């Protein structure tokens, strides 16, 4: 008698270790997932003049939808509410910038020279105490400058390309404002239109995922803005007490740097320390710089350990390793704008993934059989297996 034809296949599959089978099953699924994600990123980067305004409009909408709905509850028409909130809010921001810009520009003109003085003083300190070869470093800098001058043609081409990027940036910003207006005005109608085209069995999941993503995005944006503002105020007050000049430019840089976690705080704190090192008296320069460093580190530690858990409790928590990874990837793909947008996009993706995971676990729990012991047979209960099957009087029997 010949063995069945699939015996060899069953024997070969049985010889494969279970961990290798699981690894193979996960590998091709992860490969497909990574390929699809890469294709989506490529398309988004290629169409950045469309995707970038949409993302910016969604981020800004988290700040404007609430006031617009408040005006609607006061019986203000929806169109007028959206117009007042969007263009009134943007007009208020422009007005504040017009008032603050002259002072900012006047003080910022001294920011570059003071940092240069700080670097010069730092070079002198290293040269005196650690034998730093300053002439060799300056020679390398001179060679770099000469190389740049030799490539003046390429620099001119890059300037022209930069001008084109400025035009594209202005276009994207205008489109983002227009999209913001429609998101604030017709946000509910847009969501209902998308839900109406979703299969009925997935409608509840789509709604839950949308709510989770919106909550994560709005919580992250508002929480980050609040934390960045508190950071800027705290560091500004500390610099004022110490007597460091250029408080306003540094505070503004700290505020905007707060939207780039980890790296932004480090860079803005470094600028504050360099300004303190350059503007203090030579005998007390390093002491003043250390005091400013202690202020910056203290404020940032208070922010990360106390403020963020309280203010951003509704936002998605991302590990610093994930934050650094997504910031690096965003900067590599899109540049500075990508570094700004990488963290909120990652927060939304994490929130959506967490919602889908919880729903999947809930569905599996509903499909699992009861965990209790199976019912006992009549003989195990001490009954006669024959008489126990005879229906008792008054008890209806079930027809087969």
Q: What angle do CA 360, 364, 365 make, to 5 degrees?
A: 115
Residue 81's pLDDT is 92
Which of 287, 295, 300, 286 has its CA nearest to residue 258? 300
Residue 163's pLDDT is 63
| 207 vs 138: CA distance, rounded Å | 61
Quick check: pTM over 0.85?
A: no
DSSP 17: -
Cβ atoms of 250 and 239 within 8 Å: the answer is yes
| 281 vs 268: CA distance, rounded Å | 22
| 132 vs 126: CA distance, rounded Å | 5
Residues of the chain with pLDDT > 70, as a percent, come to 70
Predicted confidence (pLDDT) at residue 393 exceeds the cutoff of 80 = no
Which of 267, 271, 303, 273 has its CA nearest to residue 288? 273
What digits encode the pLDDT tens for the residues 310-351?
776 656 667 777 777 887 888 777 777 777 788 888 888 888
Q: What is the CA radius of gyration of the chain?
A: 32
pLDDT, mean of residues 288-304 = 86
Spell 340-364 as b/e; 16+ CB within 10 A means b: bbbbbbbbbbbbbeebeeeeeeeee
What digits encode the pLDDT tens for the residues 34-86?
898 888 888 887 888 888 889 889 988 988 998 999 999 999 999 999 999 99
């Amino acid at each position: 008698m010949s063995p069945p034809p699939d015996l060899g296949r069953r024997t070969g599959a049985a010889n494969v270790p279970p961990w290798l089978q699981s690894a193979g099953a996960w590998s091709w699924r992860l490969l497909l997932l990574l390929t699809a994600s890469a294709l989506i990123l490529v398309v988004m980067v290629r169409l950045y003049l469309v995707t970038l305004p949409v993302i910016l409009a969604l981020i800004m909408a988290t700040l404007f939808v609430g006031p617009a709905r408040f005006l609607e509850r006061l019986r203000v028409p929806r169109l007028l509410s959206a117009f007042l909130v969007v263009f009134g809010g943007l007009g208020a921001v422009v007005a504040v910038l017009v008032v603050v810009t002259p002072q900012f520009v006047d003080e910022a003109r001294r920011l570059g020279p003071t940092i240069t003085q700080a670097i010069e003083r730092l070079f002198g300190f290293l040269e005196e105490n650690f034998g730093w070869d300053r002439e060799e470093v300056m020679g390398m800098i001179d060679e770099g400058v000469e190389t740049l001058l030799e490539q003046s043609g390429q620099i001119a081409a890059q300037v022209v390309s930069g001008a084109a990027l400025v035009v594209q940036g202005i276009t994207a910003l205008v489109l983002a404002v227009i999209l913001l207006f429609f998101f604030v005005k017709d946000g509910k109608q847009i969501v209902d239109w998308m839900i109406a085209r979703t299969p009925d069995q997935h409608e509840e999941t789509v709604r839950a995922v949308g709510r989770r993503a919106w909550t994560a995005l709005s919580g992250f944006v508002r929480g980050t803005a609040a934390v960045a503002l508190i950071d800027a105020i705290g560091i500004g007050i500390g610099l004022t007490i110490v007597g460091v000049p250029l408080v306003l430019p540094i505070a503004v840089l700290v505020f905007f740097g707060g939207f780039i976690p980890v790296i932004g705080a480090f860079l803005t704190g470094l600028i504050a320390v360099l300004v303190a090192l350059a503007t203090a008296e030579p005998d007390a320069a390093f002491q003043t710089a250390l005091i400013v460093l202690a202020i910056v580190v203290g404020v940032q530690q208070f922010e990360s350990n106390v403020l963020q858990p309280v203010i951003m409790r509704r936002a998605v928590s991302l590990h610093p390793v994930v934050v650094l990874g997504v910031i690096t990837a965003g900067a590599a793909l899109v540049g500075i704008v990508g570094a700004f947008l990488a963290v909120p996009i990652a927060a939304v993706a994490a929130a959506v993934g967490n919602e889908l995971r919880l729903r999947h676990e809930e569905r599996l729990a509903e499909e699992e059989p009861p965990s209790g012991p199976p019912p006992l047979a009549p003989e195990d209960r001490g009954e006669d297996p024959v008489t126990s099957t005879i229906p008792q009087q008054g008890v209806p029997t079930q027809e087969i």
